[in-house]
Amino acid sequence: MALQPSLSPLIVAGNGNAPHTLEVYLDFVCPYSAKMSRTIDSVITPLISSGGKYDCKVKVIFRPQIQPWHASSMLTHEAALAALRASPDQFWTFSRLLFDHQEEFFDRQCLNLTIQQIRDKLTDLASQVLSPGKVDEFRDLLTMKGTPNGGIPVTDDLKYNLKIARHNSIHVSPTALWNGLVASEVSSSWAEKEWNEFFASKI
């Protein structure tokens, strides 16, 4: 449940001071993760937000889960972390946009594209939700600087999230943790009924 302060926008739903934590490991090019991201917005958030049945009792942390067998997974997660840095209040909006456009970054669609071309596509997508000045910052955060093999400005954030996933032995997406322990019963196919039952049994 640890979360370094600079990554606090990874709390995507609920009250940040809520006593219970639901962590959800999602990959931007995983169809089941996209389904779960929609559930966070349509089902979980109304239940745990102001006026909801579990108001102030649960917060949701989105955990980037890079799946290396998808060639563009790392690049999409870099882009999300760049959006987090450039415009923290638009992080989840951009993340949802990535999920909604994930097919554009599937293996076949990116087969003949260079890394730079994919980053350019991601920047075009970011321009739909970020202001022009923030888009420039976003683009800069995806630009190689320094040593030939030193990565980009958000590489350290990427490493942090990779280490968290490895530390918790997370292998598949989506994976949910409740108060730090894997909740293997959670499914991306759950609707309001199942989430109500889950929260009722845990809180």
The pLDDT confidence band at residue 99, using thresholds 50, 70 and 90, is very high
Percent of the chain with pLDDT over 90: 96
What integer is the mean pLDDT of 64-75?
95
- Strand-pairing partners, residue 14, are 59
Tens digits of per-residue pLDDT, 158-192? 999 999 999 999 999 999 999 999 999 999 999 99
CA distances from 113 to 11, 77, 82, 108, 118 (A): 33, 17, 21, 10, 6
The span from the first CA to the last CA of the chain, in angstroms, equals 17
pLDDT at 1 over 80: no
Which domain range does residue 106 map to? 5-202
Q: The domain that contains 127 carries what CATH number?
A: 3.40.30.10
Domain count, the chain: 1
What type of residue is 72? S
Could you tell me the pTM of the whole model?
0.95
The pLDDT confidence band at residue 72, using thresholds 50, 70 and 90, is very high
